[in-house]
Structure 1
Amino acid sequence: MAATKLQVFVALMVVMVASRQPAANGAVTCGLVASSVAPCLNYITRKGPLVASCCGGVRSLNGAASSTPARREACHCLKTIAGSVPGINYSIAGGIPGRCNVRLPFPM
C-alpha cells in the first residue's frame, strides 16, 4: 500500500512537470524540484538505499537554485512535497547533501 502511494505521488509529480509552462530562464519551479528529488524518496522513507540519481538530482537542484529567490522557491516546493509524502525521516533527508558531497549555502 505504501509503495503504491509513493508510485502515485511520483506519477503525479511527473504529470505536473510535463504540464507546467516553461519557466523563465534560471527559474526554479516545483516541477523541477519534484523531478530532482524524486529519486530520493525511497531513501528518505527508509525503503531503499541512497542512489546516485538522488545525488545527481540534489546537485542539479543546488545548481539551479543559485539566487536567493530561487532558493526560497525551492525551499517552498520542498516543504510542499514533504507534506504530501508520509513516513519521511527528516534527519535522513537533511543528511543527503553531506552524503552526496553537495555544499549548500544554507543550513538544512
Structure 2
Amino acid sequence: MSAKPTAKRASREYEKQQVASETAAAPKTERGPLEDYLSLVKYIAGRLAIGLPRSVEMDDLINAGVVGLIEAYSNFNVEKGVKFETYASLRIRGSILDELRGMDWVPRSTRARSRE
C-alpha cells in the first residue's frame, strides 16, 4: 500500500513538470487588435454613465461596450473609407444603449409619455 501514494505523488510531480515545460516553451502572445481599443470602450462607458443612476454598474456598461467593439471589428468594411475608431465608437455607444434599454423595466413609449 505504501507504493500507491508514492506513485500518485510521482505522477503529480510529472504532470506539474510537463505543464511548466509547456508554458515555458509556449510563445508569449502579443496584444490583440481589439485590446488597443479597450480604452475607447472605457471612455464611452464613462461618458454615458454620467447621467445614469448609481444602481447601473460601470462594469455592465463596459461589458456591453466590449460586445459592441467585437461586433464592430467583425463587421468593419475598409472600403467605406471610414476610420475604424469612428465606426467602433458608434457601435460601442449603440451596444451600451441597447443594454441600458434592456435593463430598463419601463417601456420606451411609457417613458416618453411621462416626459410630456
Question: What range is the shorter-chain TM-score in?
Answer: under 0.3
TM-score by length of 2: 0.25
User: Greater relative contact order: 1 or 2 (C-alpha under 8 angstroms, separation 6 or more)?
Assistant: 1
TM-score by length of 1: 0.26
